[in-house]
Each structure stands twice: as C-alpha cells, then as structure tokens.
Amino acid sequence: MTDRDRYQRQMILPGFGLDTQEKLLAAKVLIIGVGGLGCPALQYLVGAGVGYIGIMDADKISLSNLHRQLLFTESDIGLLKVSQAAAKMRLLNADVTIETYPFHIDQSNALAIISKYDLIIDATDNFPAKYLINDACLVLNKPYVFGAVSRYEGQVAVFNLDTSSNPIQYRDLFPEAPKPGEVPSCAEAGVIGVLPGIIGAMQAAEAIKIITGIGTPLYGRLYHYNLLLAQGFEIEISANEKVFEMNERIFLENCYEENEDEMDIPEITVSEFNRMRVLPEVYVLDVRERHEYPSIDFSDAQIPMSELQAKMHEIPEKEICIICHQGIRSVYAAQQISKKRNLKVYSVKGGLTAYFK
Amino acid sequence: MAITVYFFGSLVDITGQSKKELNSFSDTDALNLLLQKDYPTLISTKYFIAVNQQMIKTNHELNNGDIVALMPPFSGG
C-alpha cells in the first residue's frame, strides 16, 4: 500500500493535491487533552496523515469516558489515555509519529513542549488549562484551535493565527477565567457523547485547513453549535482595544491554579453526612441547578450555585452541609458562604455520586 | 419589530428560555440592566454580548430588528 492509495480520496479533491498532502505529513500538531474532544480530533488528524502528533493527558481511562471517547474500549479501563491512544493510532497509520506526554500541562512544561509544535489543539476540560494554553501560545506565537462543550452546546474558534502585535485570542472573549464552581464542568453539567465528537472533529478540520491553507479558518469568529436545535450561531470577535501584554516572564509569574487564596473547607464523608443530616441543628443545602437529577428528599433547601450570591441571606443560622452532584461545586459554595456568613459549613465529599454509590 | 435576545449555555437555565423578544431599547446597557433586574443571577455570571453577530465591548445603540446574543464561557471537553 502506497501513500498515494491511503490519501487518494482527499488528494483528488479540488485544491488538495500531492503538495497539500505533503504539508500535512510535514506538520507537527500537539493535542492537549485526550478526552471527548481530543479523541476524535486525534483520529481524524492521524487519518489525514499529519506527520507528527503529540498527545498530552495525565488521566486513565474510566468507564464513564466510553460514551464519548470512542477510541477506547472496555479493556482499556484503568490504563493511561495517551498510551492506549498512541498504540491504536499507530495501527491506524504508521506514517504518523505519535509522541506521548502522560501528565497535565502546567507552567513548568508548557513552553518547552508547545514550542516543538506548529499548531496546538486545546481539547482540555477546564478553565485553568484553557487560559494557560492561550497564554503559552501567545508567548510562542503558535496558532491554536479552541474547543469546549457544555451539555448540548459547543464552541469552536481559532486563536492567535496572525503575527500582529494584537492577535485575536481567548482573552478577547473572556479576559479573566471564571472562578472555580462558577461554570459547572462536564462531570457536573453532563454532556451528550456525540457533541464533543462533532466539536472535536471541527477542531481537526480547522487544524487541517490551517496546515494546508485550504478554505478560510475560523479565525476571529466564535462558532457556537446547539445540538438540540441543530443550529449554528457565529459571532465575530472584537479584539481588546488595549494590547494584552503576554511574554515568558508574565506567563511564568501568572497564577492559573484554581482555589488560590480560597479557604479550606472541611469535607465530610457520606456516612458522616448521614449521621449529621438528621440532627436538628444541621441544615442540608443542595447547590445543584434546578434541572439536575436525581431529585432528593433529604435537603432542607435547594439554592443553585448560580443563585447563591443573591440568596445568601436565606441560609439560616445553623450548621450547613452542602451537597452537589460530585462534591466540586459544594466546596466552592461553602467558600462563598464562609466569606459572607459566619457559619459552620461542610461539603459532602463526592456529592450525590458518592451518596448513591 | 422588536429586539430578539438569544441566550446560550447556562444562561438558558438562568432565564428559563433560549430566546426572548423585547420591545425596543435605546442601547445594550439599558437592555442588559433590565435583564439583570429580571434575572439577578446574571449579575454574577460571566458572558459577553453580541449585536447582530458582532461582539461588542462597550455600550451599543440598538434598533428594531436587531439580534442580541448573550454568550457565556464553556470549558467542558
């Protein structure tokens, strides 16, 4: 089997010949996050013949990944995502060199790794990583393809594609990262499996366009996709008037960690919670959004995280046990309450997921 | 003709709708103020505003038939 056979279907496309295919084979792409977005992006880039691909993720495969990370199978559970993904992708296309980074991106490794690549795909699932990737790409003048999902909706955009002093970047949309808990994660908000498949494939498409020069990249535009309505909505991005200053020194001194300067909140186990919740001086507060399941009958009140600031005064002078879906938002809610009210607050570790286990 | 406001992501939960028709408003500041009065949670929520699919950074005049979008950040992957 020759290369010509493998890529024949795309090489016969108008505007896509042998020289275009060679651009893909010469390209180096780093995919950060090998989850719902990263798996489909990786598969399409390997299929298309991108010559050198780095994949970065510290996580191991779990059963709850499989509904959307179709690269993995049940026998992969418990194994490292990057190792399994690399093994499978080498079987798909031996032309492609896969480099694995079995750890999370952080300030100490980002610049050294990103500098080895031509293009970055942000397939991460949290704001600290997204801001860190944005800033590192600015420092190194690397274009990157942003993707993110929330329940039935997704966003895609290309950032930092021009070399001007003020390229379009993620901070033009949202200059500062939301506080932890302000926006629920996939684990908390839920996501339908096919959605990151669509968004991750779009990220791969943008990467291929940027590498080969075909078409018009999604630069300076944010594309929003609503799966339930089967509707796209595109917004032209306005750059911040003030040039956002970013260089290696600022990047290394910046703080990307969540929970910085936040107080420690005592976490209680489910059995401790069960003992406490029946006591008259204990008040059980559910901070999930109203649409979240399952409904529970042992909470004294439900104040969704999004309404907490406005309803802070409704919380009585009791010991407060806060519960949410996974025990992430409840810690954040407890911090918010502790700041405003002088109350004893506890977060139920693992949330309702642990409770119903 | 009125002004159509589209809500995305978590803003749909806050406002209980993905689309709202409003009678004419002079500008986006006035519109945003009214929305925050009707849905106080919006005050502590991050989003940007676009008028006719162009992101705006400062107050923007509104005309009948304009489409306003409120877009929050997503981080899932």
**Per-residue pLDDT tens for A135-148?**
999 999 999 999 99
pLDDT confidence bin for B1, thresholds 50/70/90: low
Contact residues, chain A, for B56 at CB < 8 Å: 238
C-alpha span between A36 and A17 (Å, rounded): 31
What homologous superfamily does CATH list for A267-355? Rhodanese-like domain (3.40.250.10)
Note whether B54 contacts A235, CB cutoff 8 Å: yes
Q: Count CB pairs under 8 A between chains A and B.
A: 116
Separation between Cα atoms, residue A16 and residue A46, nearest integer Å: 17
Confidence of residue A1 (pLDDT cuts 50, 70, 90): very low
Mean pLDDT along residues B48-65: 96
Could you tell me the residue ranges of all domains in chain A? Answer: 3-253, 267-355
Residues 218-257 of A with CB under 8 A from B: 222, 224, 226, 229, 233-238, 240-241
Give which of A345, A350, A349 is closest to A334, Cα–Cα: A345
Contact A290/B10, CB-based, under 8 Å?
no
Backbone angles phi, psi at A157, to 5 degrees: -165, 155
Give A184-242 as a 3 state SS string: CCHHHHCECCHHHHHHHHHHHHHHHHHHHCCCCCCECEEEEEECCCCEEEEEECCCCCC
Q: Do B9 and A150 touch (CB under 8 A)?
A: yes
Q: Angle formed by the axes of helices A38-48 and A194-212, to 10°?
A: 40
Q: Chain B contacts of A241, Cβ < 8 Å?
A: 57
CB-based contact A243:A165 (threshold 8 Å): yes
Residue A306 has what pLDDT?
A: 78
pLDDT grade, residue A262 (50/70/90)? low
Residue of B nearest to A234 (CA): B53
pLDDT at A185: 61
Choice between A326 and A187, residue whose per-residue pLDDT is larger: A326
Mutate to test the interface with B, among A238, A240, A303, A340 (most CBs of B within 10 A): A238
Provide mean pLDDT across the span A8-23: 91
Q: Is pLDDT at B42 greater than 70 in this prediction?
A: yes
Q: Within 10 Å of residue A308's Cβ, how many Cβ atoms?
A: 23
> Secondary structure of chain A: what % helix, strand, coil (to 5)?
35, 20, 45
| pLDDT on residue A260 | 46
CATH class of A3-253: alpha beta
pLDDT at A252 over 70: yes
Q: What domains, with CATH codes, occur in chain B?
A: 3-71 (3.10.20.30)
Would you list the DSSP string of A37-106? THHHHHHHHHHHT-SEEEEE--PBP-GGGTTT-TT--GGGTTSBHHHHHHHHHHHH-TTSEEEEE-S---
Using the 8-state DSSP alphabet, how is residue A126 labeled? S
- Statement: residue A263 has pLDDT above 90: no
Residue A256: name the closest of A153, A66, A136, A106 by CA: A106
pLDDT tens-digit series, residues A298-344:
999 999 887 888 888 899 999 999 999 988 889 889 988 988 888 99
CB contact under 8 A, B9 and A148: no
- How far is Cα A240 from Cα A258, in angstroms, rounded to an integer? 25
